[in-house]
Structure 1
Amino acid sequence: MLKVVIWHGMGDTCCNEASIGGFMENLKELLPDTFIYSLNVSDSESELVERKNSYFGNVNEHVDFVCNKLRDSDIYPHLKNGFNALGFSQGGQFLRAYVERCNDPPVYNLITYGAQHNGVSTVPGCVNDDSDFCERMKMLLSANVYSSFIQTHVVQAQYFKSIDYYDEYLEKSNFLADINNEREEKNPKYKENMLSLNKFVMIRFEDDDMVVPSTSPWFGWVDDFEENLPLNKTDGYNEDWLGLKTMEKENKLDFLVTPGGHVS
């Protein structure tokens, strides 16, 4: 039986009929013998609480909750021999963190849709949006994005990667700098767990205007002139911080493009 675990994106919930819930139903119709489990990051049954958790909270605590949920609950017997992980938008990098930090039960294939693997340089979804919400989020991030409070309370700040203040990002990032093994002291477990994957499939959206820079879903970034920089031109790839260079040599990486806007 195929086993699938899903982590939803920003502003969504585990089982929203208009998004993840509908996707699950379609998957069950296509593959009727599939076991599917869609994640929340708390035990609350309130959709409002889960949507709030996708914007506010400590991402490290969210990942810890999922690690414990999959390992120590009645879900474990279904997944103990391994499962396929599907991450939508920010759920993609969060599931990758699960692989790197826990991976018990183990992930067989990791598939991410529009994930911000190398971070974002502006508020996701607010590039051309002047709504009150976006204005408040932009203010929070631009004012003091690397303060301890913002880094432990605003989810999107925890994968915000400053183009101009990279050293401050390395020092104070609560989440992304660690799971990307960007700091001087590398965590060998992260690389080892990534190399255990059978496949790591990274899907970006052709007309994505939510993720900036647009190369981030494939671990790309920007150069000193803020031009798109592909994965194989980054230090993280060439120094193999997460094993991505090794994985590519072993044919474990797939880079796919799908039409449309972000998770459309």
Structure 2
Amino acid sequence: MEQTNEQTASAVETTVPDAQQTEQQVSPSSTTLEVEATFEQPQMSYEDVLTKIALRHPQEQVEQALQQAIEQEQAAYTAAYQQWELDVVEAQEQRQEALAYNASLNEGSEGEAVEVPELPAAPQIDMSLRRACYRKEYVEVDLALSTEQAPARTEYDDDACVVRFYPATEAHSQEQIAMVKRERFKQSRSALLAQQTVEVDGMMFDADELSQQRMARKLLVMEEQSLTSWVLANNDVVQVSKEQLFSACKLASEQQTALWIGE
């Protein structure tokens, strides 16, 4: 009896590793698990993504849904491509048999020629469905400074899932571009001058060209020791002396000159 028990125990110990090895062999690969996990996700079509866009869902949710739809489409394409490869092998064998049979007829054998089957078409991904869900970007182009004439165009960034729209452009000469830049500089300078202020004795005076003219006219009629009411840059009304007004007018003029020379 003891010998029988020892033999049984030994047999069990030998059987367990074999069972473990068998379990490891039949366990699915990581790639298979990934594909199965992809199909187990809730199905997300491009129509669903377009619905989210139409309903103005947050962009983050739209992008997540689009990524899920792309992953599922890619998984389906991979499975279809693998099946296509198998179908091609089978179709090639059928073609070879048909070609061989038809060739034997040309050598005098009796019978009618059989139709040679075509190879199956490879599966394709319709990118137009995917691209219809891309985030849209309208590229800003300075049309007044363009140097090449080009029609409006659309570019797809499939990695970033973005579609960019470029406007049509015209070819401008260097002289025209220089004139446009000069005019823009003048406008920018005028806008900057209109916002200028100067400080005299803690008071902020408007320093634009019109304010300079007002100060100059007032200085012509003011007496040396007199005071006059003046509206400051913050709209406060104060009493200023001729000396203070002269200093403000001088600083404003110098500031304007610096803007002109700085061109």
Q: Give the TM-score range, shorter chain.
A: under 0.3
Q: Which has the higher contact order (CA 8 A, sep 6+)?
A: 1
Higher relative helix content: 2
TM-score in terms of structure 1 length: 0.19
